[in-house]
Every structure is written in structure tokens, then in C-alpha cells.
Structure 1
Amino acid sequence: LVNTKKQLSSYNSQFEQGIKSMPGQERQYINIKRQQAIKENLYVYLLQKKEEVSMSYASTLTDARVVEQAYFGEPESQKKIPLMLALLCGFILPIGVISVRGSLRDRVMTRKDIEMVTSAPVMVELLQEKNAKPIVMLNRNAYALGEQIRSLRTDILQVDQNQANGRVIMFLSSIPGEGKSFVASNIAVSLAAMGRKTIILELDLRKPKVNKIFKLKADQTGLSDLLNGKCTKEDVIQPSGLHENLDVMLSGRIPDNPAELIESRNMKDLIEDLRLEYDNIIIDSPPLHLVTDAMILAPMTDVNLYIVRHDYTPKSELNFIQKQYVSGKLPNMHLVFNGVQMDSRFGYAVDYGYYGGKPAKGPIGFLFDNFKSRL
């Protein structure tokens, strides 16, 4: 009986423990069931969305099917020809314009143009001053050109320094209008300003210009009368009116035989007499390529300054200049590059129609030149 009682007590204890554990298992069961419901709902939702997407995709499909993939050839655009023509014109037109410009403007434009043809040294480059007076040494606005004139004066005095006094300096050019009278007059004023007794001879007996630069009367006794033996040099020498150290001998009346007068003994005697009285004798001569007067005067000179003008002197004249330099007939020959401009316009010009050279250009000619310069 005792054993049976113990056994029954053990069963009773087990039942009591099972009864006590029932609430915890129930809670665990409820949690598991809730998780199952959540996942089941999620699965159903995703399955529903999948069906919706499938139905939507199915509605976009067509009944057509691809039998063969499409292909296409290169389209032949009609724009290729105009584009090719435009490209060719872009290369050809600039070359053509440059070539035409070079052929139309056969004039000296740079110092390099001079140095490529002639071995004569370029002593100085003179700028073109807009609205400059004929005597720029008295024009404060033409400061740069005035300084270049002074630089030219210094270089002239350094040439042939053995000839201290009575130095004869001749200014010449190939054709009319290159500015030799302008440069000669300003050099004469510059030399006088530094205290050197100077005289300028207007030996361009055919087309004199010095009288206009110094604003002196042309129809009076001059060099043509002196060389004809009709007067003395004292009758011809007159003050310039610009500086006390500067005198002028004008050409006088235009003679019929200017070359013969310049080649006469009276001309040589005049130069020798002036050497004794003046430090510098400036000669304004006629264009060398048109008349021979300058070559007649050359043996009487010490320094010769040959004027070449920017955008005016033809390049063909450089060969003539080189020929004169190589011949050695012009003592101490140097070049002056005159009228160098920042643009293509020029202001100082001379009318030399008397020589049969280039005539003065009218408004139409000036406009045509201006148009060519802007090509």
C-alpha cells in the first residue's frame, strides 16, 4: 500500500506540473499562430501583386511577332556638297585674297622688304605723324617724330667724322613724293638748333618744294640766277625765319637747262665757298630715277641719304637703289625709311606731275587706295 501511495503521489505531482505549465505553452502557441497569420497575409499580398503585374504586362503585348530584324543603309544627304564647297572656299579664299593683295600692293611696307633686296644700311625709320606740320621740330605734338629726327641728326654727324666742317649732306629719292624735302628741311632745322651754322640749298630746280615748307616767296632771285652768273651768292642767301643759325638758298625761277647749270663750274665753286662759311650744307635734290641732277651733285657731297617711303615707294625701285649703292657713286649712302604708319593712311604728299612721275591722286584714287589697304 505504501508503494502504491508513493506512485500515485508521483503521478499527482506530474499532473500538477503539467497543469502549471499550461499557460506558458498557450502563450507560445498564440505567438506562433500570430506570426503565421502575418506571414500568410504578406504572402497573399505579394501573390496578389504578382498577379496584377502579370496582367499588366500581358496587356502590353501585341499579337505581332518579329519575322526578321530591320536594317537600314547610309542616308545620302544632299548637304555634303555645300559643306565640302564651304570648306574648300574657307581654304582657297584667304589664299586668294592674300595673293591678290600682294599683287595689288607692290609697294615697300616693312624694313624687311628693303633689307631683302638692297644691302644699303637703313639709318632710321621715321613715323608718319597725323596732322603734323611741315617742320615737326617746332611741333610739340609730333614728339615721337621729333625724337627720330634728332636720332637721324646724331647718326649723320657720326658718319665721316673726319669732315668736321663744311659737310655736304644730300637728300635724294627715286621718285617724287617720298618726302626728301620734308626730311631735309627738318634735319636742317635740327642741326641749326644744336648750334651748327647750316644752310639748305633748294637744288630741285624743276619742282622746288623747300620754299613752301619754309613759307618763302618762290618768284625771287635764286640759285638758277646765281648759276647763270646773274647775281652773287649773297643775293641768294636769306634767313630761314625759323632759326638764326639756318639760312636758305631757294631755286629761283625754273630754268630751261637745270642739268647744265648744276654741272657748271659755278656750282662747284658755290659748294667750295659754302664749305668755308657753314658747318653743314643740306642739298634737296630732284628724284634720281627721273633726272640725273643728283648724280651730277654726288661727287661734291660727303653724305647721301636716300629716302624710301612706306606704302608708297614701289618695290621695283629697291633694285635701282641697290644698283646705286653697289656702284659707289653716292658717298656714304644710307637709307631713311620715311612715313612708317600704324595704319594704311598717309598724310604728307608732294605733287610732282612736272617730272612725268606719279601724279597727285584725287579723292577717287585715295578711296581706291584706302580700299586696297583694307583687303
Structure 2
Amino acid sequence: MSIEPMDDFATDAAENATSSRVDDGSTRFDAPIRDALLRLGYLSEDQSARVASHQLERGLDFDQAALELGFITTDDLDRAREQLITSLALQNVARRPVSDELVVIAEPSSRRSESMRLLRTQIISQHLKNGRRGLACVSPTDGVGCSYIAANLAVSLSQVGYKTLIVDANMRSPRVDQIFGLDPNAPGLSTFLSLQVSRPERVVNANVLPGLAVMTAGPPTPRPQELLSGNRFRDGVNTLLREYDLVLFDTPAANANADALTVGAAAGYALMVARRDQSYYRDVSTLTEQLAASRCAVVGAVLNEF
């Protein structure tokens, strides 16, 4: 595997279903964060009622309304969100052993693991240290190892203390659940996007590995592009970006649908994955241009050899 910066590459390329409805989004009242603030003693019942009234009047989220009224501090909110993630996460879901595809665990001394650690170092120095929290792993065609790269990168980042979430945004042929030994039919991204739960944290599997959380694609849905294109996906992504040091998104191949472009636009940044002797330069350059048009910056490229 080799990792290439995208600046020169991008320059060259430029030159050459019905679901049960729980929350329809018509109200912004956020009971989970309210309850967490009450449990921690940061709000009284009287203050909570005043926040709810201010929230409806101003059209804000509950936490934003509480901050605006001065009832809580940003530190209070951070602690409440941390408790919320822990309490809402799917921590009791039956799990199988993780796959041997996670080479950073199965083969920590191998050349493949060393390549992933090199990629981790570059992501930390060129992405995380600049305050960037979202990263979509994208590929021009299928079979180049996009899920493999995303999963191993997520694990390697968690191993050095970064609070990491990997989201399987490939609702067409998901693989993240297989790699991490999770139930493919358990609640996941499709569950949140189809309004079956009110908050994205409710479908996060916390501590699948130390420091690593996983959101699977969820039960199959007949309309993935429609779900990803809505404001609910963008709002959910923004919520998750506040909670983790890095949120990685696995995406389907871009030559078959527009899902990767939609996810990349929400994440803001993308990592291009291609395979030696299989991926064509024109396909990679076309995807780079499409991502740029979607206002998604390609921060690097991985030429997968494994």
C-alpha cells in the first residue's frame, strides 16, 4: 500500500420504504439531552421548562437554547453529551469476534499493519491537527478495499487515543458489520434516517473496541440515496462530528450511484482509495472533480496493494 498526497494529483486531474415514525422532525424538542442535563444537576425543572419555551420561540435545539439563556456552560454540555452517548449506545448488542481483515489487530507486526500506521500518521498530521473531524473513504469502483482501509484506519486511530467513530454509509452492500462482528439487521444508519429513532447516538455501538464506536448501515432500505440526501443526514453528521475526534464514513463505489458524493459533501473531506493494477487514472480523476464540485476536499489517496 502506498499513500499519496492529493494536491498535485488534484491539479493534474483538473487539468486533464415505509417505516414506523417516532420523530417526524416537526419539533426540535430534544428530550435526551434535556434529561442528561437534569440528571447531572445542570438544569432545574423550572429552568428546563423555560428552556423549552425559549427553544420553541427561537427555533433552536434544546442545548442551544439552554446555552443562549446562560443556564449551562459549554463544559456542562460536553459532559452531558458524553453521558448521553454512553447511555443511549447499543452496548448490549450480541457481538461476534472481529474479522481477520482488521490486520492492525490480527497481524500487528505485518507490512500491512505498518502501512496502516503510516496512513494513520499522515491523517493525524494533515487532517486531525487542522481541526478536521469528518472523513469519507471513497472509491471510483468496487473491489478496491475501501471498507478494509476505513475499518483498519479507524482501529489504528483509536489505538493511539483518538475517540473514533466509523459509520457504514454504504446502505447498498454494507460490510462494516461483518468486519466488526455486529448484527447486520440491528438498528443503524438507516434506522436513524428513516425516523425510527430521534437521535443518531441511539444507533451507535459504543466501545466495540477501546476508543472505537461503530454505526452500522442498519436494516436494508430501498431508498438509500433519498435518505442520504435529506437534511436529517447532514444534521446527524454534524451532531456526530461534535462528539468524536474523527468520524470515518465508508461509502459505496462512486461509479454506480451518487451516495459517496453525498456523504463526502456532508463530511467535508474525503480519502481516495484505489487499487494497484485495477483502478484507472481517468476514473480517479473524474471522481476527484465530482467531489470538488460537491465541495468536498480530497485530502489524500491510498493505492491499495492488499
TM range (shorter): 0.5 to 0.7
Cα drift, residue 306 of structure 1: 0.8
Residue 47 of structure 1 corresponds to none
Which among 150, 163, 181 is matched to residue 147 of structure 2? 181
Kept in 1, the 8 Å contact 2:254–2:287? The answer is: no
Residues 139 and 118 of structure 1, relative CA distance in 2, 3 Å threshold? farther
Kept in 2, the 8 Å contact 1:159–1:332? The answer is: no
Q: Distance in 2 between matches of 1:192 and 1:117?
A: 29
Cα deviation code 1:250-303 (max 9, x no counterpart): 111111111111111111111111122110000001111211012112222243
Residue 49 of structure 1 corresponds to none
Partner AA of 2:259 in structure 1: D
Which among 204, 208, 222 is matched to residue 174 of structure 2? 208
Q: Distance in 1 between matches of 2:260 and 2:186?
A: 24
Equivalent position SS for 2:297: coil
TM-score under structure 2 normalisation?
A: 0.63
Kept in 1, the 8 Å contact 2:135–2:268? The answer is: yes
Residue 233 of structure 2 corresponds to 267
Residue 163 of structure 2 corresponds to 197
Q: Unpaired runs of 5+ in structure 1?
A: 1-110, 121-131, 341-375
The number of equivalent residue pairs is 214
Kept in 2, the 8 Å contact 1:172–1:288? The answer is: yes
Kept in 2, the 8 Å contact 1:184–1:284? The answer is: yes
1:7-26 → structure 2 map (5 Å cutoff): none
Partner AA of 2:118 in structure 1: S
Residue 164 of structure 1 corresponds to 131
Does residue 115 of structure 2 align to residue 148 of structure 1? Answer: yes
Residues 193 and 222 of structure 1, relative CA distance in 2, 3 Å threshold? same
Partner AA of 1:308 in structure 2: A
Residue 104 of structure 2 corresponds to 137
Q: Distance in 2 between matches of 1:326 and 1:182?
A: 24
Kept in 1, the 8 Å contact 2:265–2:294? The answer is: no
Kept in 1, the 8 Å contact 2:163–2:211? The answer is: yes
The structure with the larger Rg is 1
Relative contact order (alpha carbons < 8 A, sep ≥ 6): 1 or 2 greater? 2
Partner AA of 2:140 in structure 1: S
Partner AA of 1:227 in structure 2: L
TM-score under structure 1 normalisation?
A: 0.52
Q: Distance in 1 between matches of 2:162 and 2:285?
A: 36
Cα drift, residue 164 of structure 1: 2.5
- Percent sequence identity is 27
Cα deviation code 1:191-238 (max 9, x no counterpart): 100111110000001110111111211011111110111113233111
Runs of 4+ in 1 over 6 A off after TM superposition: 115-118
Q: Distance in 2 between matches of 1:230 and 1:325?
A: 30
Q: Unpaired runs of 5+ in structure 2?
A: 14-98
Partner AA of 1:212 in structure 2: Q
Kept in 1, the 8 Å contact 2:240–2:247? The answer is: yes
